[in-house]
Structure 1
Amino acid sequence: MQVPRRRRRLAIAGVAVAALAATGLTFASANQALAEEGCKVDYKVVSSWGSGFQANVTITAQEPINGWDLTWTFPSGTSVSSAWNVGYSQSGTTFTGSDVGWNGSIASGQSREVFGFIGSGSSATPTNFRINGDLCNGTTQPPTSEEPPTSEDPGNPGGGDKVDNPYTGAQVYVNPQWSDRAAAEPGGDAIANEPTGVWLDQTSAIYGNGSPTTGTMGLEDHLDEALAQGADVIQVVIYNLPGRDCAALASNGQLGATEIGRYKSEYIDPIVDIMGQSKYADLKIVNVIEIDSLPNLVTNVTPRATATANCDTMKANGNYVNGVSYATAELGALPNTYNYIDAGHHGWIGWGDVNPQYDNFNAAAALFGSLIGQNGMTADDVHGFISNTANYSVLEEPYWAVNQVVGGQALNQNPNLPWVDWNDFNNEKDFTEAFREVLIDEGFNEDIGMLIDTSRNGWGGDYRPTGASTSTNPVTFVDESRIDQRFQKGNWCNQAGAGLGERPQADPEAWIDAYVWIKPPGESDGASEEIPNSEGKGFDQMCDPDYGGNIRNGNNPSGARDDMPLSGHWSSEQFAELLENAYPPIN
């Protein structure tokens, strides 16, 4: 019997996956190359002063490197005082540096500047350069008589058959425009080289339009830059449905509710043409498809009290289902694409067995399953699903469980506990593990993987608890125990007090392909007051810090930051707060 790809990976590579999670490495493989024949280390002093100097280090590989440890011998009296993009130590004259995940993969024949440092003492070039124990700075030449990686290898960096997890062992594209903005902020250098999503939030963004999200770079510009970086993976957000985001005005799009023809011919088709160019055959393109769309057809439609007229319209005309299935089918037909459909988050569709009257969980899975067969879409066109995109829900709540008994009653069966509110889940890990199983039951392949956007769900500020509350009052117990500090889980716009979450990394759990930063930290969710614009973006009261809420957030305060620009525009103040409240903390 043939074992499905994901099951085979868990069975055969389980030790490697466990090792990766344990070490905290990000997108680099836990299995480092054993021999780097002909490797070369370029040590370049870029400036010097008095007794100090700055040097940059470049590695050239003959054979692919998937994670490196680099050592050398300094001249006597030379030491490193600070460094970036490297974990390092020094013993006597021996320097040891290790990749930090995103810079761990170096393709065959590729030269990559991997880190820099400030040193004191002699700036003379060190000796005895070794990578993973092998002596370097011999002759570098292309590999010979190597068998190419096969599609059974989950870390295969080439094109051809799609791999089980595109993130495993991959170097993921760093958007230079976001990186430059981040690096320009105080402390931003620490995260400026993290990979983030490229948002195609209107048709003109495909070609480059000077918008705050894509700047002057269009899709082809980003893909070309990914090749220049030697990246294996680039993450692209497909986000321009007709009647987009029917329950939130801040992220409304350019296409009207009935303009499905334009969506297909003017938006999806050109994207497919660009991604399908032969020069990108070896670049894995992860498509995050239409965030905050399909779950609206479950939660925000009649007869729900939370219904909106716009969402009723989109359910009736079928253009969300039509658009998502078309995009998934057309993009999925390309050999180098990996489609992950947006699946909301636990605070949106986590209601299921506890309160069947409001079963969003199984109903949403059934809706996703209904896409199969529409517009020629098959289960094979879907590589997985993503949760928490551009949202704030935590990975775990370590100090309380939804079915925990406090005050004589399980928390998620207490009608007076608005934070829990009958939800079957209180975190994204449990939610994605369970939701994946019901998606498989609805017809998706057993090897689908999940992504979780962790760009803003760290909640590491002063109010982060360090243990469970001792209160026997359920409301007090949850409020004092929970990591997520929002007023309510429906709050989504520029949440004050939020922090960066886990850094992007592959294979954090068996069912999770990666933690990703799809929402670029520092970019606004929406304006805190009405701002006239030509981008089709309205003013949503949920972005107003003085707004007292509506039925969709339990009539709670919005929790939004003040003085925020239009969605996608940069906020230095928000970026600074995300850095300050990061968890794990920024070192």
Structure 2
Amino acid sequence: MTSPTSGQTFAAGSTVTLAATASDPGGAVSRVEFRVDGNLVNSDTTSPYSFNVTGLASGSHTAQATAFDNGSPALSTATTAVPFTIQGTVQPTIVASPTSLTVASGASGTSTLRLNAAPSSSVTVTLTRSGSTAITASPTSITFNSGNWQSGVNVTFTAATGTAAATSTFTAASSGYTSATVSVTRSGVVTGRVDNPYLGSGVYNNPLWRANAAASGGSAISMQPTGVWLDRISAIGGNGSPTTGTMGLVDHLNEALAQDQANGSTPMAIQIVIYNLPGRDCAALASNGELGPNDLPRYKAEYIDVIAAILRRAEYANLRIVLIIEIDSLPNLVTNVTTRPTGTAACDTMFQNHAYVDGVGYALATFGAIPNVYNYVDAGHHGWLGWDTNFGPSVDMMRTAATASGSTLANVHGFITNTANTSALQEPYIVVDSTTRPSRWIDWNQFNDELTYAQAFRQRAVQAGFDANIGMLIDTSRNGWGGPNRPTGPSTAADLNTRIDASRIDRRIHKGNWCNASGAGLGERPRAAPAAGIDAYVWIKPPGESDGASQEIPNDEGKGFDRMCDPTYGGNPRNNNNMTGALPNAPLSGHWFPAQFQQLLQNAYPPL
């Protein structure tokens, strides 16, 4: 403890600052608990660890701090109790903490009332309201005695449903005591969506990813926003999985509300990945899911409907909820059916039974009915859909899904490219034209970077009937390709393939390689409106989470072993039978992969 110091004396009625430093060389500190006279008064989860105590009675007291690590089970260590003294007599006072609250329409918040000194007999405190009648308090009468005067009693303030802002002031009073007031404001509900939910908004920082990043040497980026992946039904409630930890959807939304409160008047967006289609990812075993090809009814009732019911809650009405809809699903129905050399029987099944199309349509219709939800549909990446035979048909497939199961095109706010992929944002030293398209690397693709692809995809989608104001997101979480191998200018080699290979930013062996790419680095940091038609650069795939296991690992998550994650595999038609370039010793997809995270830090571009 750094405050108070041993034997320190304070005047009557003083505020006493409790402060401590804490660190864990082998992990991270999850919280520090402060106690006065053995009673818990606060738990602080962020450094610097401190808390101001008011209303302490005259006489001798002790302060103590206990630090807990982030392990399971959590380990802890406590300081020696530090003695201090409050002098003189104290004017009896009612204390409220906090003294002001902002709650959404239909939501609630709490403030704790306590006394500043032990009463000689029971004391009844009554709450009276002034201002708007749209906010109520419960209870409105509290009796304090020797058992609860210091710990206090929580009062719940509830705002009635309504779109207009309202403010009420509650006065807690008792004869002979200085009163306390609590000001409660109902924020006006934002009606209708904004054009770009990222513009002028804070974006949710997942504390679970933050802890992993900070503990792995990534404190410089640990406060960046990343996506929350709901990759199983049980993830909605919080299943201890690597993607959600013990936090379920409600936990993340509540934490987003807390970050929004700390954000002042700035709106708060939260990014959630909807990822549990029946027969998920029919062309890649590493990301298979729990639902079978014919489990569309379960997908609707047990997954989409449950998530939607949570997102509709009034307390979340002012959050900007960005949903990333079903990664790597609809493009498979274009490129990986068996009429193509890259086809699989599983993708044939999902094409024939319409579960992908109907599932995505149902998700879009259900979530699109929630006013503060923004649906962005996955659009692969240029190294998958950029060829003439894939580009237009993929947009058309997405139009088909967006008008299935009762949905309309208006339910699509935009598209996202490059999720969990490493395609370079820009290739400044290569021009795609008739002279370079025949090269081995470009291989007749129309595009050679994600920015050009995303902007063209947007234009093609508008031509297909999507709203003219749709926006694009580009996942830049692992496409920086910095480090010593990054070219600094175009090659002048006479041989076309030699010139392109020496000039390209993306250092993969082939554009079709997608799993734990060796040499990848963090890309552009998340930011809003970075280029024309682009709503934001985002980190939807959290850096440091594996793309798939490099060998078979038994699991209860429905995830198979895909040889594209095996560094010894010689490839298949989807990467033109090249080596995979995958990192070795990778865990299951979504699990923390320290070696990958260290590489992403080292090869970040722009550099850290």
TM-score, normalised via structure 1 length: 0.71
- Secondary structure of 1:274's counterpart equals helix
The equivalent of 2:607 in structure 1 is 585
Q: Does 1:160 align with 2:182?
A: no
1:431-450 maps to which residues of 2 (within 5 A)?
431-450=453-472
The structure with the largest strand share of the pair is: 2
1:464 and 2:486 equivalent?
A: yes
Distance 1:489 1:56 in 2: 45
Mapped pair 1:348 → 2:384: yes
In the aligned structure 1, how far is the partner of 2:368 from the partner of 2:47? 44
| Contact persistence 1:202–1:254 (CA under 8 A) | yes
C-alpha separation between the residues in 2 aligned to 1:517 and 1:159?
A: 26
- Return the alpha-carbon distance in structure 2 between the equivalents of residues 109 and 56 of structure 1: 24
Structure 1, residues 473-501: CA drift from partner, whole Å, max 9, x if none? 11000100000000011110000110000
Quick one: which of 389, 394, 400 aligns to 2:424?
A: 394
164, 178, 191: which one pairs with 2:209? 178
Cα distance per residue 1:204-245 (max 9 Å; x no partner): 000000001100111011001100111610000000000000
Q: Distance in 2 between matches of 1:526 and 1:274?
A: 30
**Greater CA deviation, 374-383 or 555-564?**
374-383
Counting only pairs closer than 5 Å after superposition, residues 190-229 of structure 1 correspond to structure 2 as 190-229=220-259
Q: How does 1:121-270 map to 2 (within 5 A)?
A: 159-186=190-217, 188-230=218-260, 232-270=268-306
Q: Does 1:490 align with 2:515?
A: no
SS in 1 for 2:202: coil
Task: Provide the residue aligned with 2:35 in structure 1.
Answer: none
Deviation at 1:185, TM superposition (A): 1.1
- Going by fraction, where is helix more abundant, 1 or 2? 1
Would you say the 8 A contact 1:45–1:56 is kept in 2? Answer: no
Is the 1:544–1:560 Cα contact (8 Å) retained in structure 2?
A: yes
Give the drift of 1:55: 9.3
TM-score w.r.t. the length of structure 2 is: 0.69
Rate the CA distance shift 1:572–1:55 in 2: closer, same or farther, 3 A: closer
**Residues 162, 561 of structure 1: alpha-carbon distance in 2 compared, 3 angstrom cutoff:** same
For 1:398 and 1:335, how far apart are their aligned partners in 2?
40
Larger radius of gyration: 2
Report if aligned partners of 1:157, 1:232 keep a CA contact under 8 Å in 2. no
Give yes or no for contact 1:460–1:583 (8 Å, CA) kept in 2: yes
Deviation at 1:160, TM superposition (A): 1.4
The answer to whether the Cα contact below 8 Å between 2:364 and 2:402 also exists between their aligned partners in 1 is no
**Residues 328, 339 of structure 1: 8 Å contact kept:** yes
Task: Identify if the C-alpha distance between structure 1 residues 157 and 495 changes in structure 2 by more than 3 Å, giving closer, same or farther.
Answer: farther
Deviation per CA, 1:329-387, whole angstroms, max 9, x where unpaired? 100100110000000000000011xxxxxx10001011111124311111221100000
Q: Deviations over 1:407-458 (max 9, x none)?
A: xx6111x2xx321111000001110111101111111100100000000000
Matches of 1:529 and 1:157 in 2, distance apart?
Answer: 52
Q: Counterpart of 2:117? A: none
Secondary structure at the residue paired with 2:318? Answer: coil
Change in CA separation of 1:378 and 1:491 when aligned onto 2, cut-off 3 Å: same
Deviations 1:505-527 (A, max 9, x none): 00001200000000000000000
Shift of 1:175: 0.4
Is 1:423 equivalent to 2:445 in the alignment? yes
Structure 1 stretches lacking a partner, 5+ long: 1-43, 49-53, 59-107, 111-146, 149-155, 353-358, 404-408
Q: Which amino acid aligns with 2:419?
A: T
CA contact (8 A) 1:459 1:501 kept: yes
Supply the distance in 1 between the matched residues of 2:494 and 2:602 (Cα, whole angstroms): 32
C-alpha contact 2:417 2:475 (8 A) present in aligned 1: yes
Aligned residue type for 1:439: A
CA distance in 1, matches of 2:458, 2:284: 26
Amino acid at match of 2:532: A
SS of residue matched to 1:374: coil
Distance across 2 between alignment mates of 1:581 and 1:218: 32
Could you tell me how far apart the structure 1 residues matched to 2:369 and 2:210 are? 31
* Distance in 2 between residues matched to 1:474 and 1:563, nearest whole Å: 35
List per-residue Cα deviations over 1:536-572 (Å, max 9, x = no partner): 0000000000011011101110010000100000011
CA distance in 2, matches of 1:444, 1:458: 30
Report runs of 4+ in structure 1 exceeding 3 Å deviation: 44-48, 54-58
Question: Which runs of no fewer than 5 residues in structure 2 stay unpaired?
Answer: 1-16, 22-45, 51-99, 103-163, 166-186, 261-266
Q: Which residue in 2 is equivalent to 1:563?
A: 585
Q: Which has the higher contact order (CA 8 A, sep 6+)?
A: 1
Match of 1:120 in 2: none
Q: d(CA) in 1 for partners of 2:197 and 2:282?
A: 32
Number of residue-to-residue matches in the alignment: 432
Is the Cα contact below 8 Å between 1:173 and 1:229 reproduced in 2?
A: yes
What secondary structure does 1:376 align onto? coil
Deviations 1:101-138 (A, max 9, x none): xxxxxxx988xxxxxxxxxxxxxxxxxxxxxxxxxxxx
Whether the 8 Å contact between 1:158 and 1:283 is mirrored in structure 2 is no
Q: Are the counterparts in 1 of residues 365 and 408 from structure 2 also a CA contact under 8 Å?
A: yes
User: Which residue of 2 is the match for residue 411 of structure 1?
Assistant: 436
| Cross-structure match for 2:183 | none
The question of whether the paired residues in 2 share the 8 Å contact of 1:46 and 1:55 is answered with no
- Matched with 2:542 is 520
